[in-house]
């Protein structure tokens, strides 16, 4: 088995976020280019992957240049009468047969999660591991709920188009 580095990270583009700035994702990908890199990128791009759009084509062109492809072919958001796949897990071409991906209804947000199961992958333990832990307790949950109480949800629940264009 060839040893390679696996880079796992998440990206997000706000629905009103500048798409051209988002495409600077390329700068991040260039930082990690070395022999045999493998990427697993969780994403909420707010680009519906179930339909063909110009933005989807632009993003796919960038991803293909780094041997990346989208893996989610199922809806990740079902809202009233609309379905979309704005969340995706991006993977490199070379690992195409080494994983399967499933939708996971989590009940925590308007978006479903994805579970990726990788096969034939050996992880090597490094001496220096950095682990960030967020402790969820009653006080933190109350603060979160209090903060949410000030949000205006009408715009979110009434919106049918996930690809907002300014």
* Average of per-residue pLDDT across 14-29: 87
Tell me if residue 165 falls in helix, strand or coil.
coil
* Strands ordered across the beta sheet of 87-92: 5-12, 37-44, 87-92, 68-70
Q: pLDDT per residue over 78-131, tens digit each?
A: 777 888 888 888 887 666 557 777 788 877 777 778 777 776 666 666 556 666
Task: State yes or no: pLDDT of 44 exceeds 50.
Answer: yes
CATH of 5-158, one of 3.30.70.260, 3.20.20.70, 3.40.50.1100, 3.60.10.10: 3.60.10.10
Instruction: Tell me which residue has tokens 């990740």.
Output: 76
Q: Where are the domains of the chain?
A: 5-158
Q: 62 and 23 in contact (C-beta within 8 Å)?
A: yes
Q: pLDDT per residue over 47-82, tens digit each?
A: 888 888 999 999 989 988 888 888 888 888 877 788
Phi and psi angles of residue 42, each rounded to the nearest 5 degrees, phi first: -80, 135
Q: Is the dihedral of CA 121, 125, 129, 131 positive or negative?
A: positive
Distance separating alpha carbons of residues 100 and 37, to the nearest angstrom: 19
């Amino acid at each position: 088995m060839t040893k390679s580095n696996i880079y796992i990270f998440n990206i997000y583009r706000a629905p009103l976020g500048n798409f051209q700035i988002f495409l600077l994702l390329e700068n991040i990908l260039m930082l990690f280019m070395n022999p045999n890199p493998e990427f697993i990128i969780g994403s909420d791009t707010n680009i519906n992957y179930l339909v063909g759009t110009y933005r989807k084509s632009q993003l796919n062109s960038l991803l293909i240049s780094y041997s990346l492809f989208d893996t989610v072919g199922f809806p990740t958001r079902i809202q009233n009468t609309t379905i979309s796949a704005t969340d995706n897990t991006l993977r490199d071409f070379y690992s195409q047969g080494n994983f399967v991906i499933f939708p996971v209804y989590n009940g925590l947000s308007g978006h479903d999660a994805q579970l990726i199961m990788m096969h034939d992958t050996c992880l090597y333990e490094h001496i220096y591991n950095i682990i960030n832990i967020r402790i969820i307790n009653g006080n933190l949950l109350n603060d979160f709920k209090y903060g949410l109480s000030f949000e205006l949800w009408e715009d979110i629940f009434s919106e049918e188009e996930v690809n907002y264009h300014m």
